[in-house]
């Protein structure tokens, strides 16, 4: 799955307790909840056709705990369905996040009937009905059944069995269901039975239910509204990972509880239905009103977890190709298919499948692959077996995307989701604490596989830019989390959703890359083959993976490790943060310590006692050296000492494959700086990136002096790799510096110092922009770096940059077909407005009003805030609170204005005079954000007091307290930045 969104809602413990309290005060609440979450079921469900359960079964769990007894059934067989607050029920298994191991699901017969009609797209409260027969094996005698269900109304529930294997699983008898109730906080449906199920026997749970189709969030079964061929249309799709299957049908919603599925979808005849497997057949069905519906059935799936079940009902078309005898179809809006927008994704999908099949020597097991481009999909992409889902912006290539990084991004994301067909779908983690086994390895392989198809893409630099750089900035010993968490640490369902973060994806990928680097690719792939073969259609834990790597290591004698693979890798995956490795080049002494944000003198008081077993790949004088290990807090490596010769230098962490930062003593940094000034090309690009990123991060966090990092920039006039310039400017020309820059002593010094060195790289790319911009279309690193380089050049007042901005903007005004090159569009729009007058501003406003794409509207809205004319900015903010036709609903325009040097003073005055209108339009929380933006440069308590007085009438008491605390933090950070800037200014004076 792609990086998660924060959409959705959950019923937490606190919410459940509050519900209990209210219910205790108002007895009526029980009836309300019963009406909302369930109804008395007085009718039996009609029979669902049951085609039998496959002979193969998932491995059974260990000895189950004995379930608590259930009261004997009463005389009636009616079901009472209610949501039961925790206060009103005794302690029991419904208080635990994990299902009790009493039942193992074997097979689902699932029928869904979403009531979507093409002529009723905007019906509020759209719902679906459904039926599911779940064949289960009883593992322990129990008269109480738990399965997952959330926001579903249970219409009826039956338990049939035990099933007789001699008559093809025909039901023998019925187990009375006395009561059905819901434990909402842990999202359980509880069935109280009239008699206990018997261990070893099979039973069939038959449930009828209904539920909501979500329209404001993309989870469970959800609706997308869109326009195609000039008409308003709708589609339904599903997102069940990690815990949203229970929003669609009652189920055993844990990744280890794999089963097979027979899926049936009833839909309007004008739509097509898609699911994991190919279509088995179609028939017709009439509803009670005589309307005809199409019934589409699908072949039985392989064993898979509930979160991989997938459904779509749409009015789409597709393009297809055959790869190794299996059909691949890309489904999208008819306009997009006709425009060829899906062709690029189609053409890369088959070869990626084939490459991974050959790499792992395991064929993709499903007979087809459908990939659907959804108009809106919060999760970016989802790897459902046989029916992959993407946000269309990450799958479809538009004709004007030639000069964006879109082609490469689509390649990476498609490869990521295809990688999941092995890592996640074929072999699934046993529990969510090891989700990194899915996401980390899929993220790791996306870079390597695409590099195979595009050898010109610099693999190490792209891994750094896309994966490593961001997570190193956020990861540190006290605040981050371990890649693999202990199961018992999970207490609420929403904690599972929170695992889909950059530590799971990016740190997980970095763990895989480090493992590959200290072994070798042959051993790495061999171990993964063994792991995937052993656990196919089953589940695995982190230790299972380490065991197969250990087996691969033990089968050879070339690679020798200082400890077991498990010991090495557990030191990285079971603790938060990462180490900083410091080499004393004079003595060869190397030490490790946890990396903290803002190292302080009393660091020893902080608790982080563990060490890492650190692989050290390194280079001396440009020559790769043998791998060594730092498995203690410090160790001596005489071979790493540098001599008195100025030609001697050492770099640790070859190709940045180790997940750590590197520090050196003064001699070590001095020698590296000397080498950069003498012959920078002797140090590979990835290590010039590493030196810049490590040095500035270490200086910011008090490990080294800022002057040490600045010394590394002296050579930059000779730096022709734009990705290195990108790293330098991100670290040196920060947002805060830009915000206050021209009012600070540092600006003229920085301008003189940087422009002298920036001119060569500027000339290279400005010439390309002017003469042959198409040459950039396959230069991914340039495409992601140009905006920062061009923006800095214009901010520093480089006349050619300002002139180019005016030229490109006016050329676009006069000839709209001459589009501004995408990589620098934000810069050109902003400086085109800043250097222009109301003519340019009105032109851009008109473009804004005629644009429907949200991303482009936000881009234009911020560009309009770049004007330096106070009267234009005031007029702009009037638009921001005015009623239609000028509606700025997607962003707070005042925040955009306040983000500029001129605009923050104008925005403050405007806010004082119009705070009521702003509050009504954007909400009081937006006022809190605006106070932070306006207060970005405060450095005294008096300034804080003024801002507090300014907003005291606008905010509630708790917001005022929050604002005060935040402003104090901003002030302290600004004071620290001013001290840092003063030191930079002194250094610049000496070196300009």
Positions annotated as catalytic residues are 417
Beta bridge partners of 328: 321, 369
The DSSP annotation for 674-717 comes to HHHHH-GGGS-HHHHHHHHHHHHHHHHTTSS-HHHHHHTTGGGG
Residue 704's contacts (CB-CB under 8 Å, 6 or more residues apart) are 663, 669, 695, 698
Please state, in angstroms and rounded to a whole number, the distance separating the CA atoms of residues 336 and 837: 38
Residue 388: name the closest of 380, 378, 397, 399 by CA.
380
Beta bridge partners of 147: 189
Residue 854 burial (CB count, 10 A): 13
Alpha helices in 519-655 (DSSP H): 521-534, 542-554, 565-573
Reading the block at residue 980, the tokens are 């840092």
Residue 746: name the closest of 576, 979, 479, 514 by CA.
979
Beta bridge partners of 618: 652
The residue with tokens 């402003």 is 967
Cα 685 off chain centre by:
28
The DSSP annotation for 434-476 comes to GTHHHHHHHHHHHHHHHHHH-TTS-HHHHHIIIIIHHHHHH--
Contact 481, 508 (CB under 8 A): no
**Dmax of the chain from CA atoms?**
96
Residue 15 φ then ψ, to 5°: -65, -40
Please state, in angstroms and rounded to a whole number, the distance separating the CA atoms of residues 383 and 242: 12
Strand ranges (DSSP E) for 337-426?
Answer: 368-374, 381-382, 387-391
Residue positions in the annotated binding site for Zn(2+)?
416, 420, 439
Residue 365 φ then ψ, to 5°: -85, -15
Contact 69, 221 (CB under 8 A): no
Burial of 501 (0-12, 13-18, 19+ CB in 10 A): middle
Residue 398 burial (CB count, 10 A): 14
Indicate the SS3 state at residue 405. coil
Please state, in angstroms and rounded to a whole number, the distance separating the CA atoms of residues 273 and 214: 18
- How distant, in Å, are the alpha carbons of 302, 484, 664, 887 from that of 168? 20, 43, 71, 64
Contact 240, 108 (CB under 8 A): no
- How distant, in Å, are the alpha carbons of 264, 477, 575, 599, 609 from that of 594? 54, 6, 11, 10, 9
Indicate the SS3 state at residue 769. helix
Q: What is the CA radius of gyration of the chain?
A: 31
Residue 956: name the closest of 927, 991, 990, 914 by CA.
927
Please state, in angstroms and rounded to a whole number, the distance separating the CA atoms of residues 285 and 270: 14
Residue positions in the annotated binding site?
416, 420, 439
Sign of CA dihedral 916, 918, 922, 926: negative
Task: Kindly state the DSSP code that residue 604 receives in the 8-state scheme.
Answer: G
554-562 contacts at long range (C-beta below 8 A, 24 or more positions apart):
556/523, 559/518, 559/519, 559/520, 559/523, 561/518, 561/629, 562/613, 562/629, 562/631
Please state, in angstroms and rounded to a whole number, the distance separating the CA atoms of residues 318 and 750: 54
């Amino acid at each position: 799955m792609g990086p998660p969104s924060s959409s959705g809602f959950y019923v937490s413990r606190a919410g459940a307790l509050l519900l209990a309290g209210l219910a205790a005060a108002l007895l009526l609440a029980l009836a309300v909840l019963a009406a909302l979450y369930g109804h008395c079921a007085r009718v039996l469900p009609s029979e669902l056709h049951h085609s039998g359960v496959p002979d193969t079964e998932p491995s059974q769990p260990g000895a189950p705990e004995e379930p608590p007894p259930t009261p004997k059934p009463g005389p009636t067989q009616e079901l009472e369905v209610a949501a039961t607050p925790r206060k009103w029920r005794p302690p029991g298994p419904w208080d635990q996040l994990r299902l009790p191991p009493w039942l193992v699901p074997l097979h689902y017969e699932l029928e869904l009937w979403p009531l979507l009609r093409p002529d009723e797209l905007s019906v509020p409260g759209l719902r679906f009905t459904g039926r599911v027969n779940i064949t289960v094996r009883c593992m322990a005698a129990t008269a109480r059944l738990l399965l997952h269900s959330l926001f579903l109304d249970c219409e009826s529930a039956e338990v049939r069995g035990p099933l007789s294997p001699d008559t093809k699983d025909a039901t023998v008898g019925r187990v009375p269901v006395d009561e059905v109730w819901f434990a909402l906080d842990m999202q359980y449906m509880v069935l109280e039975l009239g008699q206990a199920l018997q261990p070893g026997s099979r039973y069939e749970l038959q449930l009828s239910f209904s539920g909501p189709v979500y329209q404001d969030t993309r989870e469970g079964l959800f609706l997308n509204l869109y326009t195609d061929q000039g008409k308003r249309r709708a589609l339904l799709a599903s997102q069940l990972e990690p815990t949203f299957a229970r929003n669609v049908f009652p189920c055993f919603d844990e990744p280890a509880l794999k089963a097979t599925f027979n899926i049936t979808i009833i839909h309007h005849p004008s739509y097509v239905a898609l699911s994991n497997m190919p279509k088995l057949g179609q028939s017709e069905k009439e509803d009670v009103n005589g309307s005809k519906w199409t019934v589409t059935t699908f072949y039985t799936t392989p064993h898979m977890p509930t979160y991989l079940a997938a459904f779509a009902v749409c009015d789409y078309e597709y393009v297809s190709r055959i790869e190794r005898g299996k059909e691949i179809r890309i489904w999208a809006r008819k306009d997009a298919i006709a425009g060829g927008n899906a062709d690029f994704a189609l053409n890369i999908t088959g070869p990626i499948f084939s490459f991974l099949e050959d790499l792992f020597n395991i064929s993709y097991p499903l007979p087809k692959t459908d990939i659907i481009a959804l108009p809106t999909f919060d999760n970016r992409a989802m790897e459902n077996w046989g029916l992959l889902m993407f946000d269309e912006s990450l799958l479809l290539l538009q004709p004007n995307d030639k000069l964006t990084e879109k082609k490469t991004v689509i390649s990476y994301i498609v490869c990521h989701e295809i990688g999941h067909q092995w890592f996640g779908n074929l072999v699934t983690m046993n529990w969510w604490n090891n989700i990194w086994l899915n996401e980390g390895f899929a993220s790791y392989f996306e870079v390597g596989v695409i590099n195979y198809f595009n050898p010109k893409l610099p693999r190490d630099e792209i891994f750094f830019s896309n994966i490593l750089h961001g997570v190193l900035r956020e990861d540190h010993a006290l605040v981050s989390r371990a890649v693999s968490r202990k199961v018992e640490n999970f207490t609420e369902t929403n904690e599972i959703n929170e695992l889909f973060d950059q530590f799971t994806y990016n740190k997980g990928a970095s763990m895989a890359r480090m493992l590959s680097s200290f072994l070798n690719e042959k051993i790495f792939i061999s171990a993964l083959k063994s792991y995937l073969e052993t656990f196919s259609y089953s589940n695995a834990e982190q230790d299972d993976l380490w065991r197969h790597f250990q087996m691969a290591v033990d089968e050879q004698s070339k690679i020798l490790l200082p400890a077991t693979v498990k010991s090495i890798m557990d030191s990285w995956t079971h603790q938060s943060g990462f180490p900083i490795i410091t080499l004393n080049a004079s003595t060869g002494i190397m030490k490790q310590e946890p990396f903290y944000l803002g190292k302080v003198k009393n660091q020893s008081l902080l608790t982080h006692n563990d060490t890492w077993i650190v692989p050290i790949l390194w280079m001396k004088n440009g020559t790769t050296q043998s791998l060594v290990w730092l498995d203690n807090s410090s160790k001596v490596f005489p071979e790493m000492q540098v001599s008195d010769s100025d030609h001697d230098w050492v770099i640790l962490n070859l190709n940045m494959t180790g997940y750590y930062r590197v520090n050196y003593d003064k001699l070590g940094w001095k020698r590296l700086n000397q080498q950069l000034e003498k012959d920078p090309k002797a140090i590979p690009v990835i290590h010039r990136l590493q030196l810049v990123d490590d040095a500035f991060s270490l200086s910011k966090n008090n490990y080294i002096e800022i002057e040490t990092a600045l010394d590394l920039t002296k050579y930059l006039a000779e730096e022709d790799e734009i990705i290195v310039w990108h790293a330098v400017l991100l670290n040196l020309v920060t947002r805060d510096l830009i915000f206050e820059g021209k009012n600070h002593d540092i600006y003229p010094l920085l301008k003189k110092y940087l422009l002298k060195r920036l001119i060569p790289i500027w000339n290279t790319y400005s010439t390309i922009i002017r003469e042959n911009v198409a040459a950039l279309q396959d230069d991914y690193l340039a495409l992601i770096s140009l905006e920062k380089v061009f923006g800095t050049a214009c901010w520093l007042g480089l006349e050619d940059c300002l002139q180019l901005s005016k030229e490109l903007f006016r050329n676009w005004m006069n000839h709209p077909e001459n589009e501004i090159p995408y990589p620098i569009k934000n810069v050109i729009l902003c400086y085109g407005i800043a250097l222009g007058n109301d003519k340019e501003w009105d032109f851009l406003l008109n473009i804004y009003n005629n644009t429907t794409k949200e991303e482009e509207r936000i881009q234009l809205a911020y560009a309009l805030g770049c004007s330096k004319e106070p009267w234009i900015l005031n007029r702009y903010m009037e638009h921001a609170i005015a009623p239609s036709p000028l509606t700025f609903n997607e962003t707070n325009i005042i925040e955009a204005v306040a983000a500029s040097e001129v605009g923050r003073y104008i925005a403050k005055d405007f806010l004082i005079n119009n705070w009521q209108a702003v509050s009504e339009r954007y909400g009081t929380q937006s006022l809190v954000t605006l106070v932070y933006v306006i207060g970005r440069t405060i450095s005294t308590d008096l300034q804080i007091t003024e801002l507090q007085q300014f907003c005291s009438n606008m905010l509630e008491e708790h917001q005022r307290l929050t604002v005060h605390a935040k402003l104090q933090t901003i002030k302290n950070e600004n004071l620290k930045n001013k001290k840092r800037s003063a030191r930079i200014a002194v250094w610049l004076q000496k070196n300009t």
